[in-house]
């Protein structure tokens, strides 16, 4: 159980494809019904994400982030060092962090439980590179091209996405892969997941056209981690090698890093609320 919260704030994105005005009203009402009306609402993309100083100035103690995983990452990173707690709510495409902390539940139910003290508060393990941090996973390798196809499908539809799919398939099959250490087996992607025991590395397996199809469907229609894979290593640090710069996806946001690239287990600089 957590102590009661008294000054909640909400971050939402009215231009997100997952935004629902009715759910927004339910979240506002849930705070009011709990006797703790919202102190502030940050409406993206018009408003800026608040930093720790701004949250302290308003004496906010709970920051509910009803967005996708990438924005939750940005919001939590920006308020590092703030003494309150972040509550991720499912407001995006995959909602992996919300599912990890709360299960697959409606946003209003999660918020209601958190306001009632039915949750656990603690930092969460993270993956850290030289430039960024991920709270859910880092996907490294050319298979991250599927993330661009997924975004095209979300914004422009299946027909446009189908035009990009051949490039993603070609990258998965033919682009320089990634490996652990200098002599390891190469994979079209290696998924790094933070756990309480350290980083876990899983290699994406592609043994034929059926595996390519399964990975494509996993990226486009659900959790990319559902595709075929094999566990490779677990440790405090993992170094990835490749013959080219390594494409990365941090919590749904694309980036690139020079090889070799070192990744380490970390801990979030802000507390999160888990209700499951």
The answer on pLDDT for 269 being more than 90 is: yes
Domain housing 140: 134-267
124, HSE (Cβ side, Cα atoms, 13 Å): 25
CA distance 118 to 115: 7
In a domain, 1, yes or no: no
Cβ atoms 232, 203 nearer than 8 A: yes
CA distance 275 to 246: 35
pLDDT in tens, 168-219: 666 666 667 899 987 778 998 899 999 999 999 999 887 655 555 565 555 5
State which of 122, 145, 177 marks the end of a domain: 122
The tokens 């060092």 sit on which residue?
A: 81
Q: What CATH number does residue 240 fall under? A: 2.60.200
213-to-173, 191, 221 alpha-carbon distances in Å: 12, 18, 12
Residues 219, 108 share a domain? no
The answer on pLDDT for 245 being more than 80 is: yes
Cβ atoms 116, 87 nearer than 8 A: no
Averaged pLDDT for residues 78-105: 94
219-to-138, 168, 176, 192, 223 alpha-carbon distances in Å: 14, 11, 20, 16, 6
Q: What is the pLDDT of residue 15?
A: 82
């Amino acid at each position: 159980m957590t102590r009661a919260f008294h000054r909640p704030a909400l971050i939402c994105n009215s231009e997100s494809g997952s935004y629902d005005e009715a759910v927004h009203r339910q979240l506002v009402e849930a705070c009011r019904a709990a006797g703790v009306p919202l102190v502030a609402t940050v409406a993206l993309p018009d408003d800026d994400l608040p930093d720790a100083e701004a949250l302290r100035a308003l004496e906010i103690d709970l920051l509910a982030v009803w967005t996708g995983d990438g924005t939750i990452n940005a919001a939590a990173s920006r308020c590092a060092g703030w003494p309150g707690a972040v509550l991720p709510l499912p407001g995006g495409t995959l909602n992996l962090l919300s599912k990890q902390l709360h299960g697959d539940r409606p946003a209003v139910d999660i918020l209601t439980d958190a306001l009632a003290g039915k949750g656990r508060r603690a930092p969460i393990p993270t993956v850290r590179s030289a430039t960024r941090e991920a709270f859910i996973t880092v996907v490294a390798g050319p298979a991250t091209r599927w993330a661009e196809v997924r975004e095209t499908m979300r914004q422009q539809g299946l027909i446009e996405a189908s035009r990009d799919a051949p490039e993603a398939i070609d990258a998965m099959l033919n682009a320089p892969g990634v490996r652990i250490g200098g002599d390891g087996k190469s994979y079209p992607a290696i998924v790094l997941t933070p756990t309480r025991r350290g980083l876990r590395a899983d290699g994406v397996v592609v043994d034929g056209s059926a595996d390519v199809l399964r990975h494509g469907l996993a990226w486009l229609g659900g959790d990319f981690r559902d595709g075929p894979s094999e566990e490779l290593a677990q440790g405090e640090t993992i170094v990835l090698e490749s013959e080219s710069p390594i494409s990365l996806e941090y919590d749904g946001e694309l980036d690139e890093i020079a090889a070799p690239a070192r990744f380490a287990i970390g801990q979030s600089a802000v507390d999160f609320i888990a209700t499951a």
